Every structure is written in structure tokens, then in C-alpha cells.
Amino acid sequence: MTESWLDIPTESDFSLINIPFGIITYAGASAPRVAVAIGDKALDLAIFSASKGFLGLPAIQPYLHVFHEPTLNAFAALGRPVHRQVREYLQKVFTKNGPYRQLLEDNKELRNTSLTDLTAVQTYLPMHIGDYTDFYVGKHHAYNVGVLFRGPANALQPNYTHLPVGYHGRASSVVVSGTPVRRPWGQILNADKAPIYSPSKRLDIELELGAFVCKGNRLGAPVSLTKAEDYLFGYVLLNDWSARDVQAWEYVPLGPFNAKNFASTISAWVVLADALEPFRAEGIPNESETQSYLKSDVKKAMFDIDLEVSLQPNGAPSGTVISRSNGCNLLWSFPQMLTHHTVGGCPMNVGDLLGSGTISGPDSGTEGSLLELTNGGCKPFDIAGVKRTFLEDGDEVVLRGWCKDSTGQRLGFGECRGQILEAWENGVAPE
């Protein structure tokens, strides 16, 4: 295990094996800029690069401007080989008595100006998202929901095991961890099955992984599965908040719309695809014959990421874990999702976000949504001395995800947090 000269707490998501990228501001640095998280610090790469921090990496010299951008798009667009070089270089910079010790470890002034406590930084949406697509490849989730609506015999739709089912989401409503979520108004059916205009009463979460795209393809030019990894920049946690009552009424025949477009929260730090390589794992086996364009020799196409959902009910002193799942619980990999997305020629752009869909496990206690956890809202659960089915005003949800290597170092995603605010009175927001 390589040691850092920085004091990295054992339980930190941001150990030396991680080096995730994000966008920050802090006191005295009001223009959003690129940073990496390390232990309980953020390294400001705008300052670091301007102070010759990348002196040991000649290849990045022509591109140092990317670290002064307010999103990661320009950095992402440099491509996977550059991300790899920059991450490995920064790992060396943070390594105790490493080859670049003079740059930061032995440079007290730059340490002081470029490193800031994570608790003192404000994070932002890490990328400008052109298009956001949400898939539905968490098979246990699809099955659980199918059972609720159609019974076990017809739980999965006929297409489910043949293609990564997905839909276009709303890019403008993707927000960064910490952004409060206003309970949405919408049309729902009341007890008499007549539609009414009302705040949602069945506000739910969805535990997902998101992947950011770092390469574009032309309109009309599909991305083959063998090349799809080159298009994947990195990963975040994604909470696809869902108004189940709005969804039930609106979704036939064109899919979810207002039920999902009021907010989708992502974690602030993008874990690079390369950082997850050591944690590859097999996903859910697919019993159906796979079409040629989706066929892969890669056995381990998912990631062994422990996932959990914590809920802090309004008034409770702290959160309680209500579900634990794992990133392996997917039927299709992100490369397969991307390839399927482009099979007809749909163009991807740098900054596009792909969601996995809800990642539930096969067992009780591993559900990625309250809909499943409460059997469609029929079985409330006890938490912190109160009952819950769906979310109440003031409830706060935190998603967490992490991998651990053999030496016990954590590679984590940080928090994906959001608190529910009460619906506006009469559906009208103050000016």
C-alpha cells in the first residue's frame, strides 16, 4: 500500500487509489474551477497548474487551461489516455517521498494555497450535461416493480433481456448533491380514480450509478462495443427522484415525464473510469441470446461497488441505512448501454450523462427504491421511531457508494444528498 504525505483518514472515500474530479469554489476562489478530492482536502487544479504543479507531466502542458474551466467537459474531452496520465501523475504527487515531492509535499506555500478542506468548498454540477439518458438495467428492480404491477409471471417485459431499456431524461433538472428538492405538484389519480392537481404523495428515490461521456460520435455513426469504453469518462452516484403517483397516471404510452423531471441528484466528484478498473466484477447473467452488436467477451463488465441508501427522517438526529445494494446488480454494462444508445446513429456529446436505472439487489433489504422497499407503499417501515412509506417533507436521503481494495483503502463516491422541501402553497413559487 502506497502512503501519502497527506493524512488521509482510513474511512475517507478519497484515498490515494481514487483521485476523483470535481468543480469547486471556496473563500477567495469564487470562479468555479477544477479540483480533485484527496482525503479530507480538495486540490485546486487551477492554482496547482498555474503554479507549475504539472511540471513533471509535459503531455498536459498545452491543455492546462482545462483546469480553469467551470465544468469538467474540456478535461474530459482530452480523452481516456490523458485522464489516466493526469490521475497517475497526481497519485505520485500525493505519494510520500514520491518523485514529485518538491512540487507539493516540500512546497509549503503551494500546499497552503492549493489545498482546502473539503468542508470549506462549495461543489457544483461537475459537467455541463447536454443530454441525460436513464436506463433501466437493474434487473432485480425491474422484476420487483413488474411483480407489483403485473404479477411474477409477467414481471419483465418481453424486450427486457434483449436490449438495455432506457428513456431520455431531462438534462436541465440534474442537480449536484446538497441541492434541496422541492416536492412537486402534478396530476395524480385520487381514491375515486379521478385526476386531481396535487402535491405528490408518493415521493420516492432511485439508487443509481451515472456515467459521464467524454467523447462524441457523429450523427449516423454508431459506436461499436469494442470502442465504447473510450467514451466513458467516469462515474457518479445518481438519485433519480420519482413522484410515483404522477408517474402512474402520466406514463402510458410515452414513459415517465413530470414524475422524474423535477430533480435528479448526482454526487459531486466524478470517479474516473480508470480508477474503477481494479474493481471489475460480473453482472447478472443474461439467459437470452445477445444480439451481435451487444455481444462482448468481457466477463467482468460491471463494478463491485457497495451501495447504500441512508434516510434521515425529518426531526431525527441522524440518518439510518435503509438499503444496501451493489453495482453488480445490472444486466447490461455501461459500454453496452452506450453502444445500444448509438446503434441507430444517435450522437453522443462530451458531458452526456447515462443513468443505470435503479440498482436493487435480489434480497430483502437491498431494494433501491421505496416503492420496492414498502411493497408498493403497502408496508410502511419503522425508522428512527417513525413510520415511512414514501418521503415526507424534511426527510433527507443520502446515497453512498464505495469499493475497497485488498489493503483496505477505500475508493468512494462521496455523498449524493438531498432534502425534501414542502410543496409550494397552491403550486405557486414565490417570485
Residues designated as active site: 141
SS3 content of the chain, % helix, strand, coil (to 5): 25, 30, 50
Per-position x/- string for 58-87, each x denoting binding to its own copies as judged by CB under 8 A, each - no binding? ------------------------------
Per-position x/- string for 390-429, each x denoting binding to its own copies as judged by CB under 8 A, each - no binding? -------------------------------x--x--xxx
CB nearer its own copies, residue 179 or residue 320: 179
H or E stretch at 209: strand 207-213
Helices (H) and strands (E) in the chain, counts: 9, 27
The answer to whether 349 and 130 have CB atoms below 8 angstroms apart is: yes
Binding region for its own copies (CB under 8 A) out of 91-99, 112-120, 276-284, 286-294: 286-294
For residues 235 and 213, what is the distance between their CA atoms, to the nearest angstrom? 10
Of the candidate residues 57, 263, 305, 328, the single one contacting its own copies (CB under 8 A): 263
CB nearer its own copies, residue 191 or residue 254: 254
CB nearer its own copies, residue 200 or residue 329: 200
In angstroms, what is the minimal distance from the CB of 126 to its own copies? 17
In angstroms, what is the minimal distance from the CB of 296 to its own copies? 15
In angstroms, what is the minimal distance from the CB of 221 to its own copies? 4
For residues 94 and 103, what is the distance between their CA atoms, to the nearest angstrom? 10
Backbone angles phi, psi at 145, to 5 degrees: -70, -40
Binding region for its own copies (CB under 8 A) out of 27-35, 59-67, 289-297, 367-375: 289-297
For residues 424 and 407, what is the distance between their CA atoms, to the nearest angstrom? 50
Of the candidate residues 79, 130, 376, 394, the single one contacting its own copies (CB under 8 A): 130
Q: Which residue in 270, 220, 268 sits closest to 416, CA to CA?
A: 268
Of the candidate residues 58, 253, 385, 408, the single one contacting its own copies (CB under 8 A): 253
Grid cell listed for 315: 426531526
- Beta strand spans in 347-404 (E): 353-355, 381-383, 386-388, 396-404
* 292 binds its own copies per the rule CB under 8 A: yes
Q: How many residues bind its own copies (CB under 8 A)?
A: 68
* 56 binds its own copies per the rule CB under 8 A: no
CB nearer its own copies, residue 8 or residue 294: 294
For residues 69 and 77, what is the distance between their CA atoms, to the nearest angstrom? 12
The answer to whether 307 and 186 have CB atoms below 8 angstroms apart is: no
In angstroms, what is the minimal distance from the CB of 107 to its own copies? 41
In angstroms, what is the minimal distance from the CB of 32 to its own copies? 18
Would residue 365 be called left, alpha or beta, if left means φ above 0 and alpha means ψ between -120 and 50 degrees? left
For residues 91 and 78, what is the distance between their CA atoms, to the nearest angstrom? 19
In angstroms, what is the minimal distance from the CB of 197 to its own copies? 4
User: How many whole angstroms from its chain centre is CA 350?
Assistant: 16
Grid cell listed for 396: 433527507
Q: Which residue in 19, 18, 15 sits closest to 3, CA to CA?
A: 15
State the residues that interact with its own copies by CB under 8 A. 130-131, 136, 157, 159, 162-163, 165-173, 175, 179, 181-182, 184-187, 195-197, 200, 218-222, 224, 243, 246, 249-259, 261-263, 291-293, 340-341, 343-349, 352, 421, 424, 427-429
